[in-house]
A and B are shown apart, each in its own frame.
Chain A
Amino acid sequence: MTMSKPYAITLDPGSSLANKTGTWRNERPVYVDRLPPCNATCPAGEDIQGWLFHAEGGHYEAAWRHLVRDNPFPAVMGRVCYHSCEGACNRAQLDEAVGINSVERFLGDEALKRGWRFDAPPVESEKHVLVVGAGPSGMSAAYHLRRRGHRVTVMEAGPMAGGMMRFGIPKYRLPREVLEAEVQRIVDLGVTLQLNTKVADLAQTMADGGFDAAFLAVGAHIAKRAYIPAKDSSRILDAVAVLRSMDGEDKPLLGRRVVVYGGGNTAIDVARTARRLGATEAIIVYRRTRERMPAHDFEVEEALQEGVMVKWLSTIKQAGNEANPGALTIEKMVLDDKGNPQPTGEFETLEADSLVLALGQDVDLSLLDQVSGLERRDGVVQVDPATMMTGHPGIFAGGDMVPAERNVTVAVGHGKKAARHIDAWLRGVQSAPAPKHAPASFDRLNPWYYSDAPKTLRPLLNLARRTSSFDEVQGGLTEDNALFEARRCLSCGNCFECDNCYGVCPDNAVIKLGPGKRFEFNLDYCKGCGLCAAECPCGAIEMVPEAV
């Protein structure tokens, strides 16, 4: 062999692969998954970034199936959820938050249009669970329990399912056919729904039906009252009753001048409903200022656009006087140092055909009178926040009847969490939540790689129709702009296979494993320069020191 080599050449040519430059390294890159802020804040525990990943590719059914692992009501959510996810979205620091809620609605509507169904449970269990109340929390729990193979019977006192989604949220925000279709899809999964069935004595009902566990979600339907001296002839209604009667045969008679007392979302809903019923004046009387109003600002804004008026810093002292049963006595208020309203002694009179009180709701807990071990405080049932179980083993509760923020998404989240722990309790095990990833904060991103793209806004119904009909106010996105919106997701903290690490490594020390399989580091050659971590757009690579 040596004879065949040219002059002065003594070695065979070799590849530099023999030189394992990985020995130079004092830091190594590691792929990590971090918790995106949208997921971290979602009360229903959705993997938002996970379903957006599918939606970005136009794989809407895969996206929807990923979404409904956590929440069976995407079309409802896409209309009524207050989307705290968008408030937390890192993209807001670049241009505007991703329109998560509008993409969710698109997926929900697409599922209804295409008739996508839930998969049947893989195995059937022998256990039977009672759910009391067919609102968002009860139906969510029923869905999650059924998917785990349990028999589920939902008992609902009212004539229709949906709870506050039907009796508390007006049609112009949530068309009833959308609600009914999403409830029906849960029933079709094999959930038994018994309407007009009020559970008066829980212990008795459970014993009679042979139930192994129960989830209570009866909601909060009893209107709170404020003491207002009134004449007999004054027309005073409560907000819950007004909204509930909108779903019945007889629409409430409110008159042409309607005054609503309160500052929450329900007050806004009633005032907007009154406008649609023909009221020329719908006036909200609220004792604090707009900044302190508990109602969501976009709803206040939409109400003002529709001609709803608000008297800020005002309380109602009396309804009706000798001369005029429709005259309301209003007292002006001022805010003290602590932001609490204080009376001023200044009064004025407001004419009203009816006064609607929207001062919050209480829970009817009478069904629990015979159940031992429960703790009630502040008018609600106390539960272990980790499991949603009450003081009575096997009885769980959620939604508006437990201490929490009262909205549909929180209720759905309660149902999901309770179902997981009911399932564990039925099997006699503990369900430990999976450890949470560290947060994917904005400072970990390399935003250079995201091109500028402003948010796509949903169309709003024109004002004339908004004040004359109960047509849905907010429209949906088309497929094109839903896709565009989904693609605005930054995929914070989770690899989306952009190939940056694979491309920017000067040592070819990143191995691309193919679609869906992500990447691996070839530590034989990785010198630990950190370029992959620095240039990862979504912060899914971390440099960790090598052990010396």
Chain B
Amino acid sequence: MTQPVKFYQTGTFTVGNRLLAPDQRSVQASIARNNSLNSGHRACQGCGEALGARYAVDAAMRATANQLVAANATGCLEVFSTPYPETSWQLPWIHSLFGNAAAVGTGIAAALKVKARKAGQAQSPVRVIAQGGDGGTTDIGFGCLSGMFERNDDVLYICYDNEAYMNTGVQRSSATPGGARTATTMAVGGEPGAEFGQGKNVPRIAMAHEIPYVATATVADLRDLEAKVETAMGLRGARYLHILVPCPLGWGSASHDTIKLARLARETGLFPVFEAVRGEVTQVTKIRHRVPVEEYLRPQKRFAHLFGSPGQPAMLARIQAEADRNIQRYGLLAEESVA
């Protein structure tokens, strides 16, 4: 036997595992998890953002022993969780504007710092996260976010990326992938859908600020996501976590396919999952079973115009080339499967 016995039937891929020691289990497997985003929220069926937010904030709550404050940008997450006078949030939570979540987070962190000094403490035990969707992060809140990074403010910023403005009716954002249909990039003309070669790669921009920690994750890999939140909360200074959260409404996918699509985004190489410390990539999650991008795109109606006859084989090839570039750039294939 070359393999040690520590093989738990399902590896570490399921949410929980009855055979693991309790301290090795995921936050989400615990009966005592915080459910930071409570039931009764108005997110659509199968919402990836609601799922990602509970995963991330519950993990941050455990990492800080529930000493946590959240600032939230405008967007789906804010709207579906807090229709006046109800709230789904089970932690101190503040919403100000669409574009200023990072700045609000900075302010809370500054206030906590002052309070700690006055109390004679070196640092505040209370920690801060700021969060928003891709619109509030990559477009509208981008200036505040960059400022928070360059000042190295003690905030973990979490971007829940569903690749468009879903709350207002699926308009293109700078995180919308090329070829995707949105309300503002209709599937008409010679090159239907969003233009290629535009948009921003905010994880790489965050890395360019050389902040202590940048990571990407998806809702399909809970253990990885929780580990990254825990790592981030173990550090001080500006940190950035970018989570891919499929949106059944905006992507035109089945509500039960949310996790499958997040998994395929990673397995195609279209969404590289990695960690970076002070601007250098330190860890990448390898692809387990590589699949062509078509398998990821087909179940999404926002890419329906790529298929059928005549379809858009050139655009499909371009998306595949993007995936291949990511695989090359981040080294996403395991050693043995390269050959």
Chain A residues packing against B (C-beta within 8 Å): 11-21, 24, 56-57, 448-451, 453, 456, 478, 480-481, 483-484, 487-489, 491, 496-500, 502-509, 512, 514-515, 522, 524-525, 527-531, 533-535, 537, 543
Contact = CB atoms under 8 A, between A and B. Distances in A.
B277 interface: no
Given A11-B85, A56-B19, A535-B260, 7 more contacts: A15-B88, A451-B7, A497-B16, A499-B14, A506-B258, A528-B45, A531-B46
Contacts of B41: 16, 19, 21, 507
B9 A450 contact: yes
A453 B255 contact: no
Contact of B259 (A15, A16, A484, A535): A535
Interface in B234-272: 248, 254-260, 263
A177 to B, nearest CB: 27
A503 B16 CA distance: 8
> Which of A450, A478, A509, A533 has the most chain B CB atoms inside 10 A of its CB?
A450
A11 B84 contact: yes
Interface in B210-235: 222
Contact of A450 (B1, B11, B48): B11
The main secondary structure of chain B at its interface with chain A is loop
Given A21-B42, A453-B7, A498 B51 contact: no
Contacts of B258: 506, 529, 531
A394 B51 CA distance: 62
Contacts of B39: 16-17, 21, 507-509, 522, 524-525
Contact of A506 (B4, B12, B14, B47): B47
17 contacts: A11-B85, A14-B85, A16-B38, A16-B39, A18-B86, A19-B42, A21-B41, A481-B5, A484-B5, A488-B9, A499-B26, A504-B259, A508-B35, A508-B39, A515-B18, A529-B255, A531-B256
A417 B163 CA distance: 60
Nearest to A487: B9
The 3 closest A-B pairs by CB, nearest first: A499-B16, A451-B11, A503-B15
Contacts of A527: 45-46
Given A498-B16, A529-B255, A16 B7 contact: no
A503 B7 contact: no
A18 B16 CA distance: 29
Nearest to B16: A499
Contacts of A453: 3, 7
A478 B3 CA distance: 13
Contact of A504 (B11, B51, B84, B254): B51
A13 B92 CA distance: 13
Contacts of A525: 39-40
Contact of A17 (B40, B51, B255, B256): B40
Contacts of B54: 506, 508
Contacts of B14: 449, 498-500, 537
A481 B258 CA distance: 37
A545 B117 CA distance: 59
B19 A57 contact: yes
A450 B4 CA distance: 17
A537 B10 contact: yes
A529 B26 contact: no
Contact of A512 (B7, B31, B46, B51): B31
B257 to A, nearest CB: 7
Contacts of A19: 40-42, 86
Contacts of B47: 506, 529
A447 to B, nearest CB: 10
Given A507-B50, A512-B31, A18 B40 contact: yes
B87 interface: yes
Nearest to B81: A16
Nearest to B52: A506
Nearest to B41: A16
Contacts of A488: 7, 9
B8 A487 contact: yes
Interface string B29-65: 1010001011111110111101100100000000000
B45 A483 contact: no
Contacts of A56: 9, 19
